[in-house]
Amino acid sequence: MVCGVKTLGQFIIEKQADFPYAKGELSRLLRDIGIAAKIVNREVNKAGLVDILGDVGTTNIQGEEQKKLDVYANEQFIAALTSGGECCIVATEEEDEIIHIESPVSQNAKYIVCIDPLDGSSNIDVNVAVGTIFSIYRRKSVEGLASLQDVLQKGTEQVAAGYVIYGSSTMLVYTTGKGVNGFTLDPSIGEFCLSHPQMKIPETGYIYSVNEGNYVHFPDGVKKYIKYCQVEDVSTKRPYTSRYIGSMVGDIHRNLIKGGIYIYPTTSRSPNGKLRLLYECNPMAFIIEQAGGKASTGFDRILDINPAELHQRVPVFIGSKNMVEKAEEMMLIYTEKPLSVEEKVESKLEDLGVVGGID
């Protein structure tokens, strides 16, 4: 029998030819992430059974402690990246500090991984899609122990990024900067199989995704854009449809396929937005741009932000190009652009009388 299926492993090896000088480390790193994703998928699928098998804080039949799924996912990805040996630092949403992988092989490895091991974890208890988001950088320093500075790179420096969605089926979607490809897990053979080659996000979509419960706290530009989405106009197929799962991965995955915009703006409660630049916004921005869409803070391109700190948060407007541009247009008219981190430092120094600030 001829088998027409292309597995993630086969695809990664084939694509290695796109990078003639690569020695296969990135391919192995992606393979390791794929394996950890399958292990996490197995546990996510059993989530509803936790009450039967034993809750957090109890021990299972092997005497192991039952872990909350986001802790479990965090441990699985760190373990996979540690044993793989291709990565010198893991930065994860679940840990305050970066993790140095200190084995002699890993110390000198050239890649850095930033990861949100379980995104949308509040949806776990109610059987709604959750995800994993990852981002891969090449370390900048050439020798010695890599440091936080190696992690704080602009999104444009990413060499690969992807997400896994644990949904009605499980998919892994990733880019290495040459388009976006999606793989669906076939549980019968335990392999991710190429199901969505060269994914493209429609230029215009008709879905907007934002937590409207926070409406009163939104900047005026976002309020105006939401009203724009809701106004009747047959020529532009408005009103648009509102869809919000509360899992960034789920919301963006749907909008990638169907066309749409996902917004998590600044609010008066979270003045820098809620989502993290390194673990959530940069990888998703890389994927969506590679699929032909746009990702912005409302004013500037996400991928151009110079990260100042590990757990930095940013507002995000991401999705179909025309929708993001329309939202940016509203932001420009109705909302004053907030100062960047550099500008804030500069103005503080000026207040203190340090004329000219820093260069």
Q: Per rule CB under 6 A, is residue 120 in the interface with ligand AHG?
A: yes
53: alpha, beta or left? (left if phi > 0; alpha if psi -120 to 50): alpha
Q: Per rule CB under 5 A, is residue 251 in the interface with Mn ion?
A: no
Nearer to Mn ion, 26 or 284 (CB): 284
| Contact with ligand AHG (CB under 6 A) among 121, 147, 156, 242 | 121
Does residue 309 have a known ligand-binding role? no
Residues 12-51 that bind ligand AHG (CB under 6 A): none
Does residue 211 have a known ligand-binding role? yes
Contacting range for ligand AHG; rule: CB under 6 A; set: 29-37, 190-198, 223-231, 243-251: 243-251
Shortest reach from residue 248's CB to ligand AHG, in Å:
3
Q: Is residue 295 a contact partner of residue 316, using CB atoms and an 8 Å limit?
A: yes
Interface map 273-312 toward ligand AHG (x if CB under 6 A): -x--------------------------------------
Shortest reach from residue 138's CB to ligand AHG, in Å:
25
Q: What is the rounded distance in angstroms from the CA atom of residue 218 to the CA atom of residue 212? A: 9
Contacting range for ligand AHG; rule: CB under 6 A; set: 119-127, 216-224, 253-261, 285-293: 119-127
Shortest reach from residue 134's CB to ligand AHG, in Å:
13
Nearer to ligand AHG, 249 or 331 (CB): 249
Picked from Mn ion, ligand AHG, none, the partner binding residue 246 (CB below 5 to 8 A depending on kind) is ligand AHG
Contacting range for Mn ion; rule: CB under 5 A; set: 1-9, 30-38, 114-122, 205-213: 114-122
Q: Which residues pair with 121 in a beta bridge?
A: none
Does residue 97 have a known ligand-binding role? no
Q: Is 47 helix (H, G, I), strand (E, B) or coil?
A: helix
Q: What is the rounded distance in angstroms from the CA atom of residue 160 to the CA atom of residue 248? A: 19
Tell me how far CA of residue 81 lies from CA of 22, 33, 272, 312, in angstroms.
19, 7, 31, 23
Does residue 359 have a known ligand-binding role? no
| Contact with ligand AHG (CB under 6 A) among 9, 177, 239, 246 | 246
Q: What's the CA angle centered on 85, arms 79 and 86, to 5 degrees?
A: 110
DSSP string for 145-214: S--HHHH---GGG-SEEEEEEESSSEEEEEESSS-EEEEEEETTTTEEEEEE-S----SS-SEEE--GGG
What is the radius of gyration, based on Cα positions, of the chain? Answer: 21
Residues 205-224 that bind ligand AHG (CB under 6 A): 211
Nearer to Mn ion, 39 or 349 (CB): 39
Does residue 325 have a known ligand-binding role? no
| Contact with ligand AHG (CB under 6 A) among 116, 150, 289, 328 | 116
Q: Per rule CB under 6 A, is residue 248 in the interface with ligand AHG?
A: yes
Query: Interhelix angle for 25-45 vs 8-15, to 10°?
Result: 160
Please report the beta strands in the chain, taking only residues with DSSP state E, as ranges in sequence order.
87-92, 99-100, 111-119, 130-138, 160-166, 170-175, 180-186, 191-196, 207-209, 241-242, 261-264, 294-296, 316-319
Distance of CA 174 to the CA centre of its chain: 10
User: Where along the sequence are the contacts to Mn ion (CB under 5 A)?
Assistant: 93, 116, 118-119
- Which residues of the shown chain bind ligand AHG in the complex (CB under 6 A)? 93, 116, 119-121, 211, 246-248, 274
